[in-house]
Amino acid sequence: MSTADQHRLGSAGPMGTASPGESSSSMAAITASGAAVLYFDPNPTAAKLASAGLRLAGYRVLHAASLDQAVELCRSHGPTGDQSIAALLLDTATAPAVSAAVLRALLEIPGASSMPGMLLVSRANPVPFPGAETLPALKRPFTTPALLKFLRDAIDVVPVAKPVRTRATPDDAVLRLEIALQQFFPEIEPETETLRRFAATLNTMAELPTLASGVTLQAALGPNRLESVLELLDADGARGVLTVERNEPGIRAVARLHLDRGRLRMAEAAIDGEDLRLERFLLELEALTPAQVEAITNADDPQQRGLALQLLDSGQLRVDEVATALANQAREIACHALTWTAGRLSFAPAEQLHPVVARLGRGNTAVRVAEVLMVGLRRTDERAEMGPHMAGLDEVYVRVDEEVAKLGRHAFARDELAVLELLNGRNSIKDVARKTKTGAFAVTKVLYRLSRSGLARKAAPPVRA
């Protein structure tokens, strides 16, 4: 490079000095129209990465890969053109001699010496040609944020701000994707349309449903069996609430199982046609009389406590009695949930136990998850054994009195007598379960034995005129 060229590079500037009025008006025009950068880089791969980062920040990039392209762009968009170029950015790392020749050619264009200029240099050759030491330089390799800071610090021109968007436009997504691919896979140079389709695929994947707050596991019932999930949580020693929802046409049921380090401490449920309230299990234990239960449930509680806490606070029952009733309730609810084949489940871990469980303490009755699985799978086998002879919840049966009389009361167990007395042709299985304070499954098992022995049969539907 000649001494005159070095002098022009080294003059105030970075590439020269414009008058205050000219500089102010030029920068105002640049800012209003959107800053453009004339970027020379003969390396297409490196140019793609830097250009994408500049465009993403809001700059227009005029890329030139040869001396002729650089001169033509500078004439069209520089001081003698539409004046949209805010700075010159030359990459000297690939071919320092070529970059020096480009710079000399640009300086010959009227007014170009007043534009800010910057160099991208290699670490092995930070001063690629004489006079370059006076120009701002950024060493390769660099990050996109470093390039943007370098550019803004050098020219003090901020591109026109883009409108705030809640989601990136497809073009922005493609630019970001291009930057990432060039950083990690510089040998890949996909077409823009391919990048656009790839970005659309990633965008679709990002819109997949995410877990709710506090939930660490979510799955669909059917492909995932509840017993497998319980076995997993049992082996992991998890503590929290497993919510199981049954969602079939005409059926809606929810069960919440409170797990604590391999034990089922309590459960809550809302299941149509089943009485799974704590009152039922207290009556089964004969811990309370029906009159006592009715009095407690009908009384107003200013503190809005559940039945278990009311009984514990009032001292009407011992802690072990309440714990046993809760364990029986939890076992029954879990066994019902194990039969569901459609719906969804989710698990939310918790550090704190439910207030009722905390009040009972760790040493009282609780159902092990292994026991729940064993009882539930045993019931599955029993259901399979009954097959089509298993009564439906809304079916009505009637006892065959002459056959029952032949056997006498001594031939029947207590639960069988209780069911027989209610088989009057009017009570459904749900009615019998409610009146005997037992579960519907227990009633169907008794009814299976009675019907297969000829002691009960389905009631004939009423004849309509």
Q: Is the pLDDT of residue 461 over 80?
A: no
More confident residue, 20 or 239: 239
Mean pLDDT throughout 329-355? 88
What pLDDT shows up at residue 395? 87
More confident residue, 344 or 20: 344
Out of 104-113, 147-156, 255-264, pick the least confident: 147-156
CA distances from 52 to 57, 145, 330, 355 (A): 9, 12, 60, 57
Residue-wise pLDDT for 386-409, tens only, equals: 888 888 777 889 998 888 888 888
CATH code for position 125: 3.40.50.2300
- 181 domain-assigned: no
Which of these three, 329, 350, 384, is where a domain ends? 384
Q: Is the pLDDT of residue 69 over 80?
A: yes
Out of 115-119, 248-252, 354-358, pick the least confident: 248-252
Place of tokens 């691919």: 181
What pLDDT shows up at residue 7? 41
Number of domains observed in the structure of the chain? 3
Give the integer Cα–Cα distance in Å for 183 and 178. Answer: 9
Q: Are 111 and 221 members of one domain? A: no
Residue-wise pLDDT for 194-222, tens only, equals: 877 777 777 665 554 555 556 678 888 88
More confident residue, 203 or 6: 203
CATH code for position 417: 1.10.10.10
More confident residue, 66 or 249: 66
- 190 domain-assigned: no
Helix intervals (H) in 352-413: 355-360, 369-386, 401-407
Q: Are 136 and 238 members of one domain? A: no
Q: Are 240 and 365 members of one domain? A: yes
What pLDDT shows up at residue 303? 81
CA distances from 412 to 23, 61, 396, 406, 449 (A): 108, 93, 21, 12, 11
- 463 domain-assigned: no
Q: Are 256 and 376 members of one domain? A: yes
Q: Is the pLDDT of residue 243 over 70?
A: yes
Out of 65-69, 78-82, 100-104, 459-463, pick the least confident: 459-463
Mean pLDDT throughout 33-52? 76
Residue-wise pLDDT for 305-335, tens only, equals: 888 888 888 888 888 888 998 999 999 899 8
Give the integer Cα–Cα distance in Å for 465 and 463. Answer: 7
Mean pLDDT throughout 260-283? 85
- Rank 45-49, 100-104, 126-130 by mean pLDDT and report only the highest: 100-104
Which of these three, 138, 162, 186, is where a domain ends? 162
Q: Are 223 and 370 members of one domain? A: yes
Which of these three, 321, 351, 384, is where a domain ends? 384
Q: Are 231 and 330 members of one domain? A: yes
Q: How many CB atoms within 10 Å of residue 363?
A: 9
Confidence of residue 364 (pLDDT cuts 50, 70, 90): low
- 172 domain-assigned: no
**Angle subtended by helix axes 226-236 and 369-386, to nearest 10:** 160
Q: Are 320 and 415 members of one domain? A: no
Mean pLDDT throughout 121-140? 77
Q: Are 330 and 415 members of one domain? A: no
Averaged confidence pLDDT in the chain: 77
- 56 domain-assigned: yes
Q: Are 22 and 136 members of one domain? A: yes
Tokens representing 293 are 């239960």
Mean pLDDT throughout 290-304? 83
Which residue range is the domain that position 344 belongs to? 217-384
- 452 domain-assigned: yes
Is 55 in contact with 147 (CB distance < 8 Å)?
no
Q: Are 309 and 404 members of one domain? A: no
- 108 domain-assigned: yes
- 368 domain-assigned: yes
Q: Are 425 and 441 members of one domain? A: yes
Q: Are 87 and 119 members of one domain? A: yes
- Per cent of the chain over pLDDT 70 is 83
